Amino acid sequence: MRCRHRRAAKRCVADPNVRVPRSITIPAIHGHVTGLKASHLAALERLYRRRVPSSAVLTTELARTTSQLTREIRRPIGLLITRRGVIEQVLVGTGCAPTFESLAKFRVGSHSLRGLRLIRTHLHDDPLSQDDLTHLALLRLDLIGILGVDEKGEPSLLHLAHLLPPNQQGEVCRILKPVPFHDLDLQLDTFLHALESDLQRSDTKHDVAAGTESAILVSAAPKSHAEQEEHLEELNELAESAGVRVLDRIAQRTHEGYERYLLGKGKLKEVVMRALQKGADLVIFDQDLAPAQARAISEVTDLKVIDRTQLILDIFAGRAHTREGKVQVELAQLRYLLPRLSGHGTSLSRLGGGIGSRGPGETKLETDRRRIRDRIAHLEREIDDVARHQDQRRSRRVRQGLPILSIVGYTNAGKSTLLNTLTHSQIPAQDRLFETLDTTSRRLRFPHDREVIVTDTVGFIRDLPKDLVGAFRTTLDELRDADILLHVVDASAPNVDQQITAVETVLQSLNLDTIPRVMVLNKCDRLSAHEAGVLCQRYHAIGISAPNRETLRPLIAHLESLLPAIPTPPGYEEDPDQPPQDLALASHS
């Protein structure tokens, strides 16, 4: 509150018939103020009038006033001070700390400070507690300090701590040697400038070394440690596919009762502290975060926190190249985002708010939700148009009478590499998850002049997000026209059984489990001949190495024996832009 308005504000509050001017605001005293005298409350409010030079941690006058007031009310007092020397908050009581919501206007980067320092008084010369250091790290404060108060109400020892740049020792903060307040010799503005320079240099080194964001991976589930490690390994691959550098992984076995934060609040703080120690930019959860959980976690840290679905959606957004793929990805992202727009639910809705919501009209939150719903409706209409065009293409294929082989499988199993080898194509194929997003079709002629259409589709993954399944229904619907599904499996994967089960589960959910399937174990060159033979016998599969044409001979012979003898329909003409590729590898080397 501006000082010249204080007396006017008190008069306005005392007289209910006087309207309080909008420019007058009464500063709030945060924390435990119950039972305090009116004179003490007034003295606490007057602290907001004080100013501190940018070069000083605390002025002598302010330190004495706060210490004497602490002795009188027998409660600790905290002062949250900006670098301009303005008292931003006055906090009363043990354990009272600023919240992220109250500090929203003081934004920070991953390697910068918030521009605020917190100095607390204490009736005894106790050192900084672990909670104090946690607040320092989580809130990214410039400094945190404990000012002891002696029996006469005078300031005594001052304990200070500040953050450190990410280091090999994993130290988050440094506790300075306590000194009597009157002996403190610290040029604060110079000290903070040097500290932020060190933080920025560490940030620059991080960017040069990696060029991308860095993350800590977290799994919190009632599963065994081995299962969680398997899931974290896959999450690690997803993160690397998204261009994220993984710094650490944390697995926590949880039980019922941690629904609010997914894991305990104390453990969550440990995770955030670990992220700060490692210099991570974000935290990635292997489990999907409910909207309420995401909001609760945001109250504990301002680090970017995402879940597995968000990570997959981000990968898809970077891989989509066709208009169809981009529309499907955007639709999935908006469906995921809509229920996660934080706010007050219907309490501020123009329709459902009721008493207390009349007058201001539509809120910003409601406007955003309405625009997202409108955009979702528009994208759904576009996808319906895409579906109609696909129906027309499928009708032409039916008239041509060409059998369809659809390649399916777990992501990064080698599906695109197999299609490239079979059809002499140059489809982008790299050793990373979800490299292929858009459906690709090629015509293929077998040695006995049988032509087929071979399609490559987006890879599957365990617990495939529902938003993705719904948005990519037009792509997945093309599998319904397949005469044979070629299920490609990464034989070298340590969790090959789980990957096969995940694909079979997705096919069953799409009602595609009735289509004949041929299982192909790819990457057998990474196994011994005995191991590959055992796997092929267990799954009744054919072992191959997709880049090696010679290993495809048994597969080609088996597929040709399965294809029905479908004659070419009268009037059939080849597409000059996409002539069929001959499979010469089955007849000679």
Tell me, yes or no, whether 395 lies in a domain: no
- Per-residue pLDDT tens over the stretch 363-410: 677 788 889 999 999 998 988 887 787 777 767 766 667 788 899 999
- Name residue, tokens 């691959």: 237
Q: How far apart are CA 203 and CA 279, in angstroms?
A: 8
* Whether residue 244 sits in one domain with residue 263: yes
* Whether residue 185 sits in one domain with residue 121: yes
- The vertex-515 CA angle with 510 and 521, nearest 5°, equals 95
The better pLDDT of the pair 588, 521 is held by 521
Range of the domain at 172: 3-207
* Whether residue 413 sits in one domain with residue 333: no
* Whether residue 222 sits in one domain with residue 159: no
- The vertex-492 CA angle with 488 and 495, nearest 5°, equals 85
Confidence of residue 289 (pLDDT cuts 50, 70, 90): confident
* Whether residue 423 sits in one domain with residue 328: no
Tell me, yes or no, whether 356 lies in a domain: yes
End position of a domain, from candidates 147, 179, 207: 207
Q: Are 442 and 491 in contact (CB under 8 A)?
A: no
* Whether residue 363 sits in one domain with residue 409: no
Beta strand residue intervals within 378-450, DSSP E: 404-409, 440-445
Q: How far apart are CA 480 and CA 484, in angstroms?
A: 10
Which CATH number does the domain housing residue 263 bear?
A: 3.40.50.11060
What is the residue-wise DSSP string for 47-106?
GGG-B--TT-SS-HHHHHHHHHHHHHHTS-EEEEEETTSBEEEEEESTT----TTTTTTS
Residue 389 — φ and ψ, nearest 5°?
-65, -35
Instruction: Give the pLDDT of residue 281.
Output: 81
* Whether residue 300 sits in one domain with residue 328: no
Q: How far apart are CA 517 and CA 515, in angstroms?
A: 6
- Per-residue pLDDT tens over the stretch 50-79: 999 999 999 999 999 999 999 999 999 999
Percentage of the chain lying above the pLDDT 70 cut = 80
| Alpha-carbon Rg for the chain in angstroms | 32
Which CATH number does the domain housing residue 475 bear?
A: 3.40.50.300
* Whether residue 178 sits in one domain with residue 263: no
Count of the separate structural domains present in the chain: 4
End position of a domain, from candidates 315, 347, 364: 315
Instruction: Give the pLDDT of residue 236.
Output: 92
Helix (H, G, I), strand (E, B) or coil at 460: strand
The better pLDDT of the pair 429, 327 is held by 327
Tell me, yes or no, whether 74 lies in a domain: yes
Closest CA to 330 of 373, 379, 283: 379
**Model confidence at 46: pLDDT above 70:** yes
* Whether residue 101 sits in one domain with residue 167: yes
Tell me, yes or no, whether 330 lies in a domain: yes
Phi-psi map region of 215: left, alpha, beta (phi>0 left; psi -120 to 50 alpha): beta
Tell me, yes or no, whether 568 lies in a domain: yes
**Model confidence at 354: pLDDT above 80:** no
Q: How far apart are CA 380 and CA 375, in angstroms?
A: 9
* Whether residue 343 sits in one domain with residue 292: no
Q: Which residues have a Cβ under 8 Å from the Cβ of 428 and sit 6 or more positions away?
A: 416, 435, 436
Q: How far apart are CA 409 and CA 423, in angstroms?
A: 19
Tell me, yes or no, whether 388 lies in a domain: no
Phi-psi map region of 104: left, alpha, beta (phi>0 left; psi -120 to 50 alpha): alpha
Tell me, yes or no, whether 361 lies in a domain: yes
Instruction: Give the pLDDT of residue 57.
Output: 93
285-313 average pLDDT score:
86
Tell me, yes or no, whether 338 lies in a domain: yes
The better pLDDT of the pair 538, 292 is held by 538
* Whether residue 408 sits in one domain with residue 374: no
The better pLDDT of the pair 143, 263 is held by 143
- Of the ranges 83-92, 235-244, 291-300, 564-573, which one carries the lowest mean pLDDT score? 564-573
End position of a domain, from candidates 207, 222, 247: 207
Residues in the chain: 589
Instruction: Give the pLDDT of residue 425.
Output: 76
The better pLDDT of the pair 121, 509 is held by 121
**Prediction pTM value:** 0.74
The better pLDDT of the pair 187, 101 is held by 187
The better pLDDT of the pair 301, 154 is held by 154
* Whether residue 330 sits in one domain with residue 407: no
Token code pair at residue 111: 């390697």
Q: Are 427 and 436 in contact (CB under 8 A)?
A: yes
